[in-house]
């Protein structure tokens, strides 16, 4: 009935998340409110970890892509599942460090890292730095030398694969700001340079073809291309690349008609390609790393809002306005993303209405969605937008000086605040 398995309806006809009444959560914590179900996060981590164990004989690591959703509590949960972390900025790395995360399990990304970021990454001892371009390689070599360190690095490679997803979240094609191109020989030249560097250790190669991808074939193709490159490096330079990071990007169900393959199926199919290609090429199988973000965080989250105005424009559309919008969920205005919505206090009723859910910002495009099936919503109702655990809180803003919502985690029928709601004083805290 709902996109996420942890959602249900109780005897009052209210929507429940992890067995907890969402109308009660809205009353207790206020709206807008992000709610994250800890068990859903944990189950996804376990399923990925078990897949690495099953299909790669445990030779690999799952690194949760914290850009999807990061806060201290999330890092603590991820750490307790024994998996690693992918961070992409000083802020994400700092959050992980402050949560007590084991830095040796952290991969540090970014297409334009600053010297300050690289220094900090070396100081805290991240497991690997994913180097994006040649100037970064030389900058890192210098910084590492000055610090008398030898960090492990991976090279981010553009495997030249066009995944079928939104243009803004494609990353594997040659026209991308991320990584070294294979086709042009740029990647091979960079590997030669890295092998000659004294203060970095090239341990692996990385690729990430995009996000919210449903097809398995592009992942298989990426694995093939990357292993071919590893074989070329072995043949021509005699250098063994020990790790292959295949990135994230596994699609999730935002609408009932979405039907992504379970990620075990991705893992099984890609692992077959990895095994057969390694045999064919006569190379040793590298350790396999993956970086799922959305598939761990998104299904765990919902956002609760209170309905304000309802505006019916005859023969045109009905706007249902909520107390949040693009500030807490900019994915519609950015990508035209689709979501399932439910009137939480009428969840047992049919969704007979079709509405545009509008945010409260001074911006016409500030919508959660158009033509959305919904129960009849009026002032005071609570609307739940489902599968918002990834790229909502992490992409939230203070546009219009709107305060960011609180994040509540739920587990075993109980709820707790993980991130406090911003106050008006937070809004002016850096103003002088």
Question: Interface with ligand LLP by CB under 6 A: which residues?
Answer: 65, 67-68, 86, 109, 169, 171, 208, 211-212, 247-250, 291-295, 331, 335, 390-391
59: which residues sit within 8 A by CB, 6+ positions away? 52, 285, 287, 288
Q: Take residue 143 and report the two structure tokens written for it.
A: 């910084």
Active site residue 362: yes
Task: Give 248 or 286: the residue with its C-beta nearer to ligand LLP.
Answer: 248
Spatial separation of the C-alpha atoms in residues 230 and 105, rounded to whole Å: 23
Least distance from ligand LLP to the Cβ atom of residue 66, Å? 9
Spatial separation of the C-alpha atoms in residues 204 and 128, rounded to whole Å: 9
Task: Give 65 or 137: the residue with its C-beta nearer to ligand LLP.
Answer: 65
Least distance from ligand LLP to the Cβ atom of residue 290, Å? 8
Q: Minimal CA–CA distance to 322: which of 375, 266, 365, 360? A: 360
Please spell the DSSP secondary structure of 322-379, one letter per residue. ES-STTT-THHHHH-----EEEGGGTTS---EEEEEE-SSS-TT-EEEEEEEE----T
For the chain, helix (H) and strand (E) counts, in that order, are: 12, 21
Least distance from ligand LLP to the Cβ atom of residue 432, Å? 32
Contact predicate 268/55, CB 8 Å: yes
| 71, 75, 362, 386: the active-site residue | 362
Spatial separation of the C-alpha atoms in residues 96 and 110, rounded to whole Å: 16
Spatial separation of the C-alpha atoms in residues 126 and 128, rounded to whole Å: 6
Spatial separation of the C-alpha atoms in residues 344 and 26, rounded to whole Å: 10
Least distance from ligand LLP to the Cβ atom of residue 394, Å? 8
Q: Which helix (H) or strand (E) holds 294?
A: helix 294-297
Spatial separation of the C-alpha atoms in residues 130 and 158, rounded to whole Å: 13
Least distance from ligand LLP to the Cβ atom of residue 424, Å? 28
Enzyme catalytic residues: 362
């Amino acid at each position: 009935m709902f996109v996420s398995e942890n959602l249900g309806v109780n005897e009052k006809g209210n929507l429940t998340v992890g067995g907890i009444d969402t109308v009660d959560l809205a009353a207790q914590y206020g709206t807008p409110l992000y709610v994250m179900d800890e068990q859903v996060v944990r189950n996804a981590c376990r399923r990925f970890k078990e897949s690495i164990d099953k299909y790669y004989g445990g030779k690999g690591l799952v690194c949760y892509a914290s850009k999807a959703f990061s806060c201290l509590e999330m890092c603590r949960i991820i750490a307790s599942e024994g998996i690693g972390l992918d961070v992409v900025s000083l802020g994400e790395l700092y959050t992980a460090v402050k949560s007590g995360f084991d830095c040796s399990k952290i991969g540090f990304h970014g297409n334009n890292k600053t010297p300050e970021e690289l220094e900090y990454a070396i100081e805290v001892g991240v497991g690997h730095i994913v180097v994006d371009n040649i100037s970064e390689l030389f900058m890192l070599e210098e910084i590492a030398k000055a610090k008398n360190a030898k960090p492990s690095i991976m090279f981010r490679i553009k495997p030249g694969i066009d995944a079928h997803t939104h243009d803004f979240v494609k990353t594997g094609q040659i026209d991308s700001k991320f990584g070294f191109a294979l086709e042009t020989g740029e990647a091979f030249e960079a590997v030669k340079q890295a092998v000659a560097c004294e203060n970095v250790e090239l341990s692996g190669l990385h690729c990430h073809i995009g996000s919210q991808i449903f097809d398995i074939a592009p992942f298989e193709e990426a694995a093939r291309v990357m292993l071919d490159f590893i074989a070329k490096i072995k043949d021509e330079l005699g250098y063994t690349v020990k790790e292959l990071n295949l990135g994230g990007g596994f699609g999730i169900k935002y609408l009932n008609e979405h039907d992504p393959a379970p990620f075990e199926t991705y893992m099984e199919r890609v692992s077959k390609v990895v095994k057969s290609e390694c045999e064919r090429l006569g190379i040793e199988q590298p350790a396999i790393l993956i970086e799922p973000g959305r598939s761990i965080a998104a299904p765990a989250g919902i956002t609760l809002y209170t309905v304000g105005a309802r505006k019916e424009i005859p023969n045109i559309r009905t706007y249902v306005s909520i107390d949040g919008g693009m500030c807490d969920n900019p994915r519609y205005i950015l990508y035209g993303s689709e979501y399932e919505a439910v009137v939480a206090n009428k969840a047992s009723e049919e969704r007979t209405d079709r509405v545009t859910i509008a945010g409260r910002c001074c911006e016409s495009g500030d919508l959660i969605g158009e033509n959305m099936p919904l129960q009849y919503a009026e002032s005071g109702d609570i609307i739940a937008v489902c599968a918002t655990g990834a790229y909502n809180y992490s992409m939230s803003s203070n546009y219009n000086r709107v305060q960011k919502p609180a994040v509540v985690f739920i587990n075993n029928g109980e709820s707790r605040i993980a991130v406090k709601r911003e106050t008006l004083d937070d809004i002016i805290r850096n103003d002088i």
